[in-house]
């Protein structure tokens, strides 16, 4: 079986039990993009506290990270994640109500604050 592109890769911390969250994002992406996405891969990370989403357009592409929980201070709203991925794989695609949010006057929220944190620290793992 060959890999189909574009490919979305969601890497999550299994220790933090974020597998269900990753699976939910996967379902949301397939529901929104259908066959415009060739694959959404989920993989548990060896690094505590990891939650990263990357998009690869072809087999020569290393992938563009569209979300990193540590740098972007948490998890993305599904609308934001869909918009970020849409802008890479299908920039002309309309996302309906996702693009017409009253909170942002129908504009994509692009200025997502990036916060530097200790890369080895995971508050969620420490609680368990």
Q: Where are the domains of the chain?
A: 7-115
Cα separation, 92 vs 26, in Å, equals: 21
Chain segment 60-107, per-residue pLDDT in tens: 888 899 999 999 989 999 999 999 999 999 999 999 877 775 555 545
* CATH code, 7-115: 3.40.30.10
Instruction: Record the pTM.
Output: 0.79
Cα separation, 28 vs 40, in Å, equals: 11
**CB-based burial label for 15 (10 Å; 0-12, 13-18, 19+):** middle
pLDDT, averaged across the chain = 85
């Amino acid at each position: 079986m060959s890999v189909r592109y574009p490919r979305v890769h969601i890497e999550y911390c299994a220790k933090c039990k974020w597998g269900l969250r990753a699976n939910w994002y996967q379902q949301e992406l397939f529901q929104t993009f259908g066959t415009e996405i060739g694959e959404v891969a989920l993989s548990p990370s060896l690094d505590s506290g990891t939650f990263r989403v990357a998009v690869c357009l072809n087999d020569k592409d290393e992938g563009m990270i569209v979300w990193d929980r540590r740098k972007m201070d948490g998890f993305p709203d599904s609308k934001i994640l869909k918009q970020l991925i849409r802008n890479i794989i299908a920039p002309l695609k309309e996302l309906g109500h996702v693009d017409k949010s009253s909170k942002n006057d129908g504009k994509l929220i692009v200025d997502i604050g990036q916060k530097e944190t200790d890369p080895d620290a995971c508050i969620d793992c420490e609680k368990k």
